[in-house]
């Protein structure tokens, strides 16, 4: 089955504390000051019903089997992309939509404990973004940033889990890199240990290329 590219859709991925949220904020602010509010920031888990349920799970309020999480993240994603006022609608109307996380997160995070197969199966029909920025960073550094925020920790935010998720991300991203010639996705690896300013300049240049 041929997976389609969703034009105008840009995704940022990386382990917790890699800095994707900071960069999306900067990109969208800069983009909107120059290009008449053409940019829209969004994120997964979403702020919708399923996303809010997932946030409670991430906060440790309750737990479910990791396979159940794979289904829940995919359901939240379906609404995010195809729901009313969703990503597809916005991209089709000419907006540039920038999402903090997408199905690559499910393939990295959920696969660590439930295996590759289910996350792949559940996410194989979602469209690919035009550009994927993958933020690479040593998990010790990124987890240090998460800890410095002083917020309560979410369930995946331990060094053992972050190391396993980083390894799984590497596997997933390199698979997509191998087939990029056929699918048409553009994958950009970002050195997330670099300064905020350098990274945002790099991203800006790539988007305006
Ligand atoms: P994060 O993106 O860090 O948002 P915030 O900074 O607001 O906490 O947190 C979302 C968490 O959800 C993160 O640990 C990754 C996890 N996640 C999955 O496990 N699977 C998924 O499919 C997605 C989208 C996120």
Q: Tens digit of pLDDT for each residue in 23-59?
A: 999 999 999 998 788 999 999 999 999 999 999 999 9
Alpha carbons 132 and 122: distance in angstroms, whole number:
19
pTM: 0.97
The rounded Å distance from CA 183 to ligand 1 centre is 26
| Measured distance between the N- and C-terminal CA atoms of the chain, rounded to whole angstroms | 30
| CATH code of residue 41 | 3.40.50.300
Q: Whose CA is nearest to atom 24 of ligand 1?
A: 44
Q: Whose CA is nearest to atom 17 of ligand 1?
A: 105
The mean pLDDT value of the chain amounts to 97
Per-residue pLDDT, averaged over 135-156, amounts to 96
Q: Which pLDDT belongs to residue 1?
A: 65
pLDDT above 80 for 7: yes
The rounded Å distance from CA 179 to ligand 1 centre is 26
Going by pLDDT thresholds of 50, 70 and 90, the confidence category of residue 3 is confident
Q: Which pLDDT belongs to residue 12?
A: 99
Q: Which residues line ligand 1 (CB under 6 A)?
A: 16, 21, 44-45, 58, 73, 100-101, 105-106, 109-110, 154, 156
The rounded Å distance from CA 44 to ligand 1 centre is 7
pLDDT tens digits along 152-187: 999 999 999 999 999 999 999 999 999 999 999 999
The rounded Å distance from CA 35 to ligand 1 centre is 29
Q: Whose CA is nearest to atom 11 of ligand 1?
A: 58
**Alpha carbon separation from 101 to 15, 105, 113, 137, 170 (Å, rounded):** 10, 6, 19, 16, 15
**Alpha carbon separation from 34 to 2, 29, 31, 96, 205 (Å, rounded):** 35, 9, 5, 13, 14
The rounded Å distance from CA 23 to ligand 1 centre is 16
Write out the residue range of the structural domain in which residue 38 sits.
5-207
pLDDT above 80 for 4: yes
Per the structure, the count of domains in the chain is: 1
């Amino acid at each position: 089955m041929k997976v389609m590219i969703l034009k105008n859709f840009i995704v940022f991925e990386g382990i917790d504390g890699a800095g994707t949220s900071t960069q999306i904020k900067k990109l969208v602010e800069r983009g909107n000051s120059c290009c008449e509010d053409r940019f829209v920031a969004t994120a997964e888990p979403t702020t919708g019903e399923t996303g809010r349920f997932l946030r409670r799970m991430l906060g440790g309020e309750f737990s479910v089997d990791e396979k159940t999480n794979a289904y829940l993240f995919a359901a939240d994603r379906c609404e995010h992309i195809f729901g009313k006022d969703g990503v597809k609608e916005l991209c089709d109307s000419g907006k540039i939509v920038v999402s903090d996380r997408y199905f690559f997160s499910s393939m990295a995070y959920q696969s660590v404990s439930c295996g590759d197969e289910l996350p792949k199966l559940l996410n194989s029909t979602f469209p690919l973004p035009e550009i994927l920025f993958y933020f690479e960073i040593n998990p010790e550094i990124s987890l240090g940033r998460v800890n410095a925020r002083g917020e309560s920790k979410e369930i995946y935010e331990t060094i053992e889990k972050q190391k396993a998720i980083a390894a799984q991300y590497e596997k997933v991203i390199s698979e997509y890199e191998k087939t990029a010639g056929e699918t048409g996705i553009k994958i950009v690896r970002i050195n997330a240990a670099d300064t905020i300013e350098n990274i945002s300049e790099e991203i800006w240049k790539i988007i305006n290329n």
